[in-house]
């Protein structure tokens, strides 16, 4: 089932009654809106003056709804997740923690090959040369010892945006726009990956490649890599509308919050991105358990 994404950018009071999310706005106490909690996949809280009850938080977590809060720069900065996301969580985490180094290297090889291939297909969609990326996607070795991911990313972003649209663009978190749009989109994608991992009974913090001790979402960062071109494509379309991208406007955020429901192709069939991500995380769990050797990733 495709879940809804709610975004709150203004002061609001959020509570619950009869398994419904109840929304009230300051100065308009008579106006009350309600939505079924079971329909919600993501709730993004941006305004610092939002008040939310503990009862609602409890029900959202029990529904496996990702509650995302934003910082002063309006970028997602935290993600609320349940302590128990799957009935077999203990066993699945044991498999994850005991995964061998060769297995992790093979999974990372598949991940980077899928990412570079999707980057190539995105460039082709934009009528740009992708021969190098196509070749590099086939040359990724176990563990990506040749660091093809970084080489491909540099080439990809150098050629993605036309100079007459975005002059001198390079991918940098603190760089010129549309880096701000990419940052926001990737943060949403990260939350989608983390939510799917928890639902699959895995620890988002224990990765197959990323291993920074200060990063609580290493595995989420690993598995979202092949999905990044879908965010890039959405940002590319926004940029080409000619709108002001210096700041993240409400309309731009509204477009980026459609990421969970973007249609992607996985195993030859179209599926909302959030559903595809769940298939990806479940396939990784099967690899950890030894019942499979292949991670399912979408094809751009």
Closest by alpha carbon to 48, among 31, 24, 28, 73? 73
246 marked as part of a ligand binding site: no
Question: Could you please report the per-residue DSSP string of 226-245?
Answer: GGHHHHHHHHHHHHTTT---
**Widest Cα–Cα separation across the chain:** 62
In the DSSP assignment, the letter for residue 176 is S
Between CA 132 and CA 123 the distance in angstroms is 11
Name beta bridge partners: 103: none
Consult the annotation and say whether 149 binds a ligand.
yes
Question: How many angstroms separate the CA atoms of 222 and 230, rounded?
Answer: 16
What's the residue count for the chain? 300
Three-state DSSP class for residue 23: strand
Task: Give the C-alpha separation, 286 to 125, whole Å.
Answer: 33
Pick from 120, 151, 134: which is nearest to 229 by CA? Answer: 120
Binding residues for Mn(2+): 149, 210, 225
């Amino acid at each position: 089932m495709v879940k809804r994404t709610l975004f709150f950018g203004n002061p609001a009071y959020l509570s619950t009654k009869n398994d419904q999310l109840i929304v009230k706005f300051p100065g308009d106490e008579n106006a009350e809106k309600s939505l079924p909690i079971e329909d919600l996949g993501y709730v993004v809280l941006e305004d610092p003056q939002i008040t939310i009850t503990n009862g609602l938080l409890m029900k959202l977590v029990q529904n496996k709804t990702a509650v995302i809060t934003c910082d002063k720069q309006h970028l997602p900065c935290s993600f609320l997740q349940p302590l128990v996301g799957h009935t077999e969580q203990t066993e699945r985490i044991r498999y994850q923690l005991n995964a061998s180094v060769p297995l992790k290297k093979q999974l990372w090889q598949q991940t980077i090959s899928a990412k570079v291939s999707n980057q190539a297909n995105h460039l082709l969609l934009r009528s740009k040369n992708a021969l190098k990326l196509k070749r590099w996607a086939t040359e990724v070795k176990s563990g990506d010892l040749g660091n093809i991911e970084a080489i491909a990313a540099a080439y990809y972003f150098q050629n993605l945006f036309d100079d007459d649209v975005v002059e001198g663009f390079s991918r940098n978190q603190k760089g010129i726009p549309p880096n701000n749009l990419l940052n926001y989109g990737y943060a949403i994608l990260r939350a989608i990956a983390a939510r799917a991992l928890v639902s699959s009974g895995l620890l988002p913090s224990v990765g197959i490649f990323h291993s920074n001790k200060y990063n609580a979402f290493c595995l989420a960062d690993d598995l979202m890599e092949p999905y990044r071109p879908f965010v890039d494509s959405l940002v590319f379309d926004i940029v080409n509308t000619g709108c002001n991208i210096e700041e993240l406007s409400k309309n731009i955020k509204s477009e980026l919050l459609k990421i969970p429901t973007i249609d992607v192709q996985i195993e030859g069939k179209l599926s909302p991105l959030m559903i595809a991500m769940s298939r990806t995380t479940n396939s990784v769990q099967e690899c950890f358990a030894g019942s499979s050797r292949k991670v399912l990733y979408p094809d751009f």
